Amino acid sequence: MKERCAMLHKVMIAGGGTGGHIFPAIAIAKALKQINPELELLFVGAEGRMEMEKVPAAGFQIVGLPIQGVPRRKTPIALFRFLLHWYRSNRKAEKVLRAFAPDVVVGVGGYASVPAMQAAQKYKIPTFIQEQNSYAGKANRMLARKVQRIAVAYPNMERYFPAEKIVFTGNPVREELLRALPPRDEACAAIGIPDETRNILVVGGSLGARKLTEAILDHAQEIALHPELTILLQTGAGDFEAMRARVAEAGVKNIVPTAFITRMECAYAAADLIVSRAGAIAISELCIVAKPVILVPSPYVAEDHQTKNARVLEERGAALLIREADASTRLWREIENLLTDDRRKEAMHLALRELARPKASAEIASQIEALGDK
Q: Given its phi and psi angles, is residue 3 left (phi above 0), alpha (psi -120 to 50 degrees) or beta?
A: alpha
Average pLDDT, consecutive stretches of 10 residues, N- to C-terminus, the chain (374 residues): 59 89 92 94 94 94 91 85 93 97 95 95 96 89 95 92 95 85 95 95 74 91 95 89 90 92 93 94 93 94 86 95 95 96 96 93 95 77
Instruction: Specify the pLDDT at position 374.
Output: 65
Instruction: Give the HSE-up count for residue 202: Cα atoms under 13 Å, Cβ half-sphere.
Output: 27
Instruction: Specify the pLDDT at position 208.
Output: 53
Cα first-last separation, the chain: 14
Instruction: Specify the pLDDT at position 17.
Output: 82
d(CA 231, CA 254): 6
The DSSP call for residue 262 is S
User: What number of residues does the chain have?
Assistant: 374
d(CA 141, CA 374): 24
The DSSP call for residue 178 is T
Instruction: Specify the pLDDT at position 72.
Output: 77
| Residues contacting 370, CB < 8 A, separation 6+ | 4
Q: Given its phi and psi angles, is residue 43 left (phi above 0), alpha (psi -120 to 50 degrees) or beta?
A: beta
Judge contact between 278 and 298, C-beta under 8 A. yes
Instruction: Specify the pLDDT at position 209.
Output: 77
Instruction: Specify the pLDDT at position 205.
Output: 61
Burial 137-174 (b: 16+ CB within 10 A, else e): bebbeebbeebebbbbbbeebeebbeeebbeebbbbbb
Task: Name which of 359, 368, 370, 373 is nearest 169 in CA terms.
Answer: 359
Instruction: Specify the pLDDT at position 178.
Output: 83
Q: Which long-range contacts (CB under 8 A, 24 or more apart) does 48-51 make?
A: 49/16, 49/17, 49/112, 50/16, 50/17, 50/18, 50/19, 50/22, 51/15, 51/16, 51/17, 51/21, 51/22, 51/25, 51/112
